[in-house]
Amino acid sequence: MQSVKAAIAKLMPSWPVQRIHNVRHLPGGYANDNYRFDLDGSTFVVRVPCASAPPQSGLSGGDGPARAAERRYLALDAAPELVALNVESGAMLTRWIDGALFAASPPTPAKAGAWLASLHAAIPAGVRSYDPIAAARADLASVADVAPAAAAALARGWRPAAQRGCHNDLNPWNVIKAAEGWRTLDWELAGDNDPLFDVAALAHGLGYDREALADLLKAYAPAPPKADQMRDAQVAFQLREYAWARRQQQLGNARPEVREQAQASAAALADLVQGPER
């Protein structure tokens, strides 16, 4: 783990890296490798960007400004406590958060909706923008065999019903029920977007059916969105997920979960775009 210690030393030159112990790789990262470690009675997480990972697409401002903007979001109480961030490389150090992931202890739809409303109220607007359709278009630009439903969704585009500060990667592995409240990880894609995109992402990750999604929306906002607005946000989310997975496959990422994501998102797009309600 000398490379991990070297990454930590670059972020915190004054730290006694010889006293770092219990270094453990955290599964689940694609664009980054994440490691938990202990130092002098405290636990931290270091993010080390993968050299082979393509740049994030769909964000305004490019990589450098995008990393600087990420610092703004990491200042939120809902985010991990930031210790150090290199805006050029993307390497980052945060304090470890004890708690249960949403994936392991999912909330009720009503609690999820109320929490998401409070999160959106806290995320500042105007820091940068995020366009999931632009991200999908960039990822699929060199993919030859695009699923018909994905091609149809990409050609149709998407006009968001509203714009506000959003997380844009709200899966149940990015939210922790901590003692002091619910904390949200991975703010790399945060930016102004349609808040229904976050609703679609969270409901999908938690496996909510239509009834559960309706309950989430009731708790999220006094006036529920129109059915076509919610469906369009779901299409945008599934298109982004499909495009990302297909791009990963093209880059040689053969992990089973990447293949499964491409297949599941293509099937979801077929239902949403080509289903009887369209």
> What predicted TM-score, i.e. pTM, was given to this entire model?
0.93
Strand runs labelled E in the chain: 21-26, 32-39, 42-49, 82-85, 92-95, 100-101, 164-166, 175-178, 181-184, 191-193
Is the model's pLDDT at 54 over the cut of 70?
no
Last residue of a domain, one of 95, 118, 134: 95
170-204 burial code (b ≥16 CB/10 A, e <16): bbbebbbbeeeebbbbbbbbbbbbbbbbbbbbbbb
The structure tokens 């960007």 sit at 49
Question: The CATH number of the domain where 204 resides is what?
Answer: 3.90.1200.10
How many domains are there within the chain?
2
Say what the pLDDT of residue 278 is.
44
Nearest of 115, 109, 71 to residue 90 by alpha carbon: 71
Say what the pLDDT of residue 277 is.
46
Residues 42 and 161 both lie in one domain? no
User: Residues 63-92: what's their mean pLDDT?
Assistant: 87
User: Residues 137-161: what's their mean pLDDT?
Assistant: 94
Number of Cβ within 10 Å of residue 278's Cβ equals 11
Query: Which range marks the domain in which residue 186 is found?
Result: 100-274
In whole angstroms, what is the distance from residue 136 CA to residue 170 CA?
Answer: 17
